[in-house]
């Protein structure tokens, strides 16, 4: 029977030193650099948190390959946090310890794997990154009269190298703690992900908020199809290339729309500034396998047949949020929009028809459908040329909707002085007063109605808020950036900037 090898003197010395925390920390000032790796390994394995913190601050190598050590020892969360805390304390100091040379904290588990078993004297050469700087002979500085001391150079940031794997599970506690430290030491701690692995089937919320050519979307399409658990998709600014052939365009569009067949959990779909939708909306809709709760199609060209297909599609019957902002409906029959609203009337909560160019006659035709939206809470239709008579008619049709609390409407046509869109504030005030009076007479003083000037950048000329039980008009004006966040906050509206 073979006898186990006796412990080395080096191991025994390290164990003895770690039993006395104060002595171990004090010894770091004079500890030979070749003893740092074995002592750090022992402190890490024995969960000596305070000693670890001090060793990080006195680390004599440019790189601390902590990931390789974590791979070997499966560390306790407390020891990992102690190492980060040591780095955090170091970065908070204006004057760093004289022995400190740390430039890189390497958390990659497959990098520098033999560092912890190699130190001075056992291998002819080390990684250049891990070599301490060669000591230079000290030169006595000559004192020059009239010279001012040079300003201190800015402290160099420390890089943290990490490989990330994102999948559906509880967020990694170590990564979360690391990101917290990076945020706290902004500019002094650089997080560098060298390898990123994503399990696409774990993604639930995806925003593609950039300018893509249709060909790029076609290349991305197969990856979208792998996101089987996707619940929310926002796609913005996809444009057609002038150099692409019709056949190539159709191929890319078919590649993209076919992926919806695999998205069995999709609930929210946002399409903004998508150039290929005209006469193709049905191609997208018929690939959807589950009813949507949110459908937002904004700043897109649609044909009347597109709107007809949308109104007849099964996936709109359970809509809670419907947005068609920036979709021109001026030259369309109101019937498809009327049918669409009627089909969603049992569930629809938020309706956005801003900047659709809806005229009085079209708006009048959809009023009966709006009056049946029993769950409607918010209705916005700014930027449409609507008269005061139609607004009054809207108020009468919707007064019985008990959940409707916020209506954002355009300044009536009668409030303009000329065709250039100059508002007459006196007329506008009179029209607001008329709406206020109607709300009080019909028993809904708590319903909030407010108006915006239809322009590229909304300028709120006058806002009227009728508060419950008061019927009091609060008037205000100014640029939307100055007060809109406060107003929307009070009214619990969600503004999506795409």
* CATH number reported for the structural domain that contains residue 351 in this entry: 3.80.10.10
Asked whether residue 336 is domain-assigned, the answer is yes
> Which residue has tokens 């002085």?
417
pTM of the model: 0.64
Tokens of 419: 């065709």
β-pair partners for 193 = 162
Asked whether residue 2 is domain-assigned, the answer is no
Encode the chain in three state secondary structure.
CCCCCCCCHHHHHHHHHHCCHHHHHHHCCCCCHHHHHHHHHHHHHCCCHHHHHHHHHCCCCCEECHHHHHHHHCCCHHHHHHHHHHHHHHHHCCCCCCCCCCCEEECCCCCCCCHHHCCCCCCCCCCCCCCCCCCCCCCCCCCCCCCCCCCCCCCCCEEEEEEEEECCCCCCHHHHHHHHHHHHCCCCEEEEEEEEEECHHHCCEEEEEEEEEHHHHHHHHHHHHCCCCCCEEEEEEEECCCCCCHHHHHHHHHHHHHHHHHCCCCCEEEEEEECCCCCCHHHHHCCCCCCCCEEEEECCCCCHHHHHHHHHCHHHCCCCEEECCCCCCCCCCCHHHHHHHHHCCCCCCEEECCCCCCCHHHHHHHHHHHCCCCCCCEEECCCCCCCHHHHHHHHHHHCCCCCCCEEEEECCHHHECCCCCCECHHHHHHHHHHHHHHHHHCCCCCCEEEEEECCCCCEECCCCCCCCCCCCCCCCCEEHHHHHHHHHHHHCCCCCCC
Domain boundary among 143, 170, 198: 198
Cα maximum dimension of the chain: 106
What is the distance between the alpha carbons of residues 341 and 352, in angstroms, rounded to a whole number? 11
Task: Give the pLDDT score at 489.
Answer: 30
> Which residue has tokens 């006659």?
361
115 & 260 share domain? no
Asked whether residue 477 is domain-assigned, the answer is no
Asked whether residue 304 is domain-assigned, the answer is no
Asked whether residue 296 is domain-assigned, the answer is no
Which residues lie below 8 Å from residue 364, measured CB to CB, with a gap of 6+?
Answer: 390, 393
95 & 57 share domain? yes
277 & 424 share domain? no
Tokens of 355: 């900047």
Q: How far is CA 233 from the centre of its chain?
A: 13
Asked whether residue 302 is domain-assigned, the answer is no
Domain boundary among 290, 306, 336: 290
96 & 180 share domain? yes
Domain boundary among 139, 165, 198: 198
14 & 92 share domain? yes
For 165, the domain range is 9-121+156-198
How many domains does the chain divide into?
3
Report CA torsion sign: 385, 388, 394, 399.
positive
489 & 418 share domain? yes
339 & 269 share domain? no
> Which residue has tokens 């700087």?
133
412 & 440 share domain? yes
338 & 275 share domain? no
What is the distance between the alpha carbons of residues 71 and 78, in angstroms, rounded to a whole number? 16
Cβ–Cβ < 8 Å for 347, 372: no
Per residue of the chain (498 residues), what is the pLDDT tens digit? 566 666 666 666 677 778 888 888 888 888 888 888 888 988 888 889 899 999 998 898 999 999 888 877 666 788 889 889 988 888 888 776 666 788 999 999 888 777 887 653 333 333 333 334 333 343 444 443 444 545 555 567 899 999 887 775 556 788 888 888 888 888 788 888 878 777 888 889 999 988 899 999 999 999 999 999 999 999 999 998 878 899 999 999 999 999 999 999 999 999 999 999 999 999 998 999 889 999 999 999 999 999 999 999 877 889 999 999 999 999 999 999 999 999 999 999 999 999 999 999 999 999 999 999 999 999 999 999 999 999 999 999 999 999 999 999 999 999 988 877 788 888 888 998 899 999 999 999 889 998 865 443 333 333 333 333 333 322 333 333 322 232 223 222 222 222
Asked whether residue 82 is domain-assigned, the answer is yes
Asked whether residue 138 is domain-assigned, the answer is no
What is the distance between the alpha carbons of residues 485 and 453, in angstroms, rounded to a whole number? 17
231 & 194 share domain? no
β-pair partners for 268 = 232, 294
283 & 387 share domain? no
Task: Give the pLDDT score at 7.
Answer: 63
188 & 229 share domain? no
């Amino acid at each position: 029977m073979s006898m186990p090898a006796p412990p080395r003197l080096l191991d025994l010395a390290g164990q003895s030193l770690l039993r006395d925390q104060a002595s171990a920390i004090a010894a770091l000032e004079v500890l030979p650099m070749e003893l740092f790796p074995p002592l750090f390994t022992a402190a890490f394995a024995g969960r000596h948190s305070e000693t670890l913190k001090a060793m990080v601050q006195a680390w004599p190598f440019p790189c601390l390959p902590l990931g390789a050590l974590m791979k070997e020892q499966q560390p306790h969360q407390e020891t990992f946090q102690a190492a980060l805390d040591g780095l955090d304390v170091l970065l908070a100091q204006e004057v760093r310890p004289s022995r400190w040379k740390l430039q890189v904290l390497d958390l990659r588990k497959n990098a520098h794997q033999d560092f912890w078993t190699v130190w001075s004297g056992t291998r002819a050469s080390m990684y250049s990154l891990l070599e301490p700087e060669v000591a230079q002979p000290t030169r006595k500085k000559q004192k020059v009269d009239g010279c001012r001391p040079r300003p201190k150079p800015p402290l160099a940031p420390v890089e943290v190298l990490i490989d990330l794997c994102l999948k559906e599970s509880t967020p990694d506690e170590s990564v979360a703690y690391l990101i917290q430290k990076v945020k706290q030491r902004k500019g002094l701690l650089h997080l560098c992900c060298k390898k990123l692995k994503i399990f696409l089937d774990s993604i639930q919320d995806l925003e593609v908020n950039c300018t893509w050519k249709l060909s790029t979307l076609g290349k991305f399409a197969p990856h979208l199809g792998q996101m089987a658990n996707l619940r929310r998709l926002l796609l913005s600014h996809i444009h057609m290339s002038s150099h692409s052939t019709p056949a190539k365009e159709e191929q890319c569009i078919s590649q993209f729309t076919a992926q919806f067949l695999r998205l069995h959990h999709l609930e929210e779909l946002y399409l903004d500034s998508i150039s290929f939708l005209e006469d193709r909306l049905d191609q997208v809709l018929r690939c959807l396998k589950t009813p949507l709760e949110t459908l937002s199609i904004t700043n897109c060209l649609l044909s009347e047949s597109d709107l007809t297909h949308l109104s007849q599609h099964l996936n709109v019957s359970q809509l809670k949020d419907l947005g068609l902002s920036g979709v021109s409906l001026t030259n369309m029959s109101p019937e498809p929009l009327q049918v669409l609203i009627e089909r969603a009337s049992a569930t629809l909560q938020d309706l956005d028809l801003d900047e659709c160019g809806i005229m009085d006659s079209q708006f009048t035709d959809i009023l009966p459908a709006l009056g049946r939206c029993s769950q409607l809470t918010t209705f916005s239709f700014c930027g449409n040329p609507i008269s005061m008579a139609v607004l009054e008619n809207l108020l009468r049709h919707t007064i019985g909707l008990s959940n409707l609390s916020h209506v954002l409407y355009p300044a009536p046509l009668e409030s303009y002085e000329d065709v250039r869109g100059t508002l007459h504030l006196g007329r506008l005030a009179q029209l607001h007063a008329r709406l206020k009076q109607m709300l009080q007479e019909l028993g809904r003083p708590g319903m909030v109605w407010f108006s915006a000037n239809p322009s590229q950048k909304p300028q709120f000329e006058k806002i009227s808020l009728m508060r419950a039980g008061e019927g009091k008009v609060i008037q205000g004006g100014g640029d939307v950036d100055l007060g809109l966040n406060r107003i929307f906050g009070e009214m619990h509206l969600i503004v999506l900037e795409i």
